[in-house]
Chain A
Amino acid sequence: MQAATAEPARIGIELQRSFRASPERVFRAWTQPVALREWWCPPGWVAGEIDIDLRVGGAYRIGMSRTGAAGAGVSVSGHFLEVRPPERLVYTWRWEGAFAEMPETLVTLELRGSDNETQLTLQHDNFTDLGLRHQHRSGWVSACDRLDRLVTPPTVVRDRPAAE
C-alpha cells in the first residue's frame, strides 16, 4: 500500500452566518450556561443540566428534555480541544439519547468581526481518529468535503490546498 497518507475524514458540514453582535458576545452566548439556557433548546424542549469547563481538555455537557415529559432526555457532551476566545473554539461532540449510532464528531467554530458584527463559520465534521485529525490541523481546509463530491465525478480526488 502506498505510504500511509491516511487522511481524516472530511465529510461534514460547514455553515456560515452573520450576527449583529461582537465576536465576544457571540462567543459568550455559545459558551456560558446562563446564555445557552436562553437559546440552545429548540421549541418544545427545556434545558437540563449544563456544565461547561471552558479550557483545553475541559469537558462540557448540555442536557435537555422535552417539555413536560419525564425521561432521560437528550444531551450533547464532549471536551474542548482549542479555546481561543473570542475567535476560535474546537470541541468534540457526541449525542446521547439521540441519533443512535452516531460517531463522535468535531465542531469547529471561527468568529471574525467587529464591534457589532460577527461572521461565524461552523464546521461539524465527522472523523475517525481524533489524534490524527489534530495533527493534521495545519492542513485543514476551509471547506469540508461534501457528500456531493462523491457523486460528482472527478477521477482523482485531490486534496484541497491548505486554508492558509
Chain B
Amino acid sequence: MRDGGWVTRVKAAPQPAATGETAALTDIFAALSDPIRRAIIVRLTSGPCSVTQLSAPFAVSAPAISKHLAVLERCGLIVRWKSGRVHYCRLVADPLAQAGAWIEQHQAFWERQLDALADYLDREQSTCKQPPPSRQE
C-alpha cells in the first residue's frame, strides 16, 4: 500500500561530500569491497590503534594486513604513521562521507522514483476502470 509501504535498509548519515582531489568513489568502493578491509575500518571507527592490535582478530599474515592497509591508505580511507617502533593507523572521515553521500543521493532518487511509479499505476488503474467514452454518452 502507498502509506507506510516503505522499508529502507540504509540509514547513512553522511556529511556533505568532500570536494577537491579526494579519491575517486570507484576506488573507495573497491577498497571497501573486501571483508577484511571493511572489518579494519570498523575497528578503526573506535579510534586509532597500532597495526599489531589491528591485526589480532584476523587469521591473516602481517604482510597481508599490510597490503590491506596500503589499499585503504591509497584511497585516503586511513593514514599510517610510526612512533618509535610501533606503526599506527587511523581513519579519515572524508572518503567514507563521500561514499555515504553517494548512497544517500541514490536512496532519495529511488524513493522519488517509487513514489512516481505508484502514482502512475494508480492513474493507469483509474483510467482503465472507466468505461469507454462511447458507452458513456
Which residues of chain A have a CB within 8 Å of any CB of chain B? 1-2, 5-9, 11-21, 25-26, 29-30, 35, 38-40, 42, 99, 101-103, 117, 120, 122, 124, 126-129, 143-157, 159
Q: How far, in whole Å, are A121 and B117 apart by their CA atoms in the complex?
A: 14
B84 is an interface residue with CB less than 8 A from chain A: no
Chain B residues with CB under 8 A of A7: 33-35
Question: Nearest B residue to A5 by beta-carbon distance?
Answer: B35
- Shortest CB distance B119–A (Å): 7
Partner of B46, one of A1, A15, A101, A153: A153
- Shortest CB distance B129–A (Å): 12
B74 is an interface residue with CB less than 8 A from chain A: no
Are A103 and B26 in contact, CB atoms less than 8 angstroms apart? yes
Q: How far, in whole Å, are A99 and B64 apart by their CA atoms in the complex?
A: 34
Partner of B29, one of A11, A26, A143, A156: A11
Are A13 and B5 in contact, CB atoms less than 8 angstroms apart? no
Question: Nearest B residue to A16 by beta-carbon distance?
Answer: B7
Are A8 and B33 in contact, CB atoms less than 8 angstroms apart? yes
Q: How far, in whole Å, are A13 and B107 apart by their CA atoms in the complex?
A: 7
- Shortest CB distance B99–A (Å): 7
Partner of A1, one of B9, B57, B60, B100: B60
Interface of B is mostly: helix
Q: How many A-B residue pairs have CB under 8 A?
A: 165
Question: Nearest B residue to A118 by beta-carbon distance?
Answer: B121
Are A157 and B39 in contact, CB atoms less than 8 angstroms apart? yes
Q: How far, in whole Å, are A5 and B33 apart by their CA atoms in the complex?
A: 11
Chain A residues with CB under 8 A of B32: 9, 11, 150
Are B111 and A15 in contact, CB atoms less than 8 angstroms apart? yes
Are A128 and B121 in contact, CB atoms less than 8 angstroms apart? no
Q: How far, in whole Å, are A12 and B35 apart by their CA atoms in the complex?
A: 15
- Shortest CB distance B61–A (Å): 7
Chain B residues with CB under 8 A of A157: 35-36, 38-39, 42
Are A124 and B110 in contact, CB atoms less than 8 angstroms apart? yes
Are B26 and A20 in contact, CB atoms less than 8 angstroms apart? no
Are A29 and B125 in contact, CB atoms less than 8 angstroms apart? no
Question: Nearest A residue to B41 by beta-carbon distance?
Answer: A150
Q: How far, in whole Å, are A151 and B32 apart by their CA atoms in the complex?
A: 13
Are B121 and A25 in contact, CB atoms less than 8 angstroms apart? yes
9 A-B pairs, CB-CB below 8 angstroms?
A: A9-B29, A15-B8, A16-B6, A39-B116, A39-B117, A101-B24, A144-B9, A147-B12, A147-B99
- Shortest CB distance B112–A (Å): 6
Q: How far, in whole Å, are A13 and B2 apart by their CA atoms in the complex?
A: 20
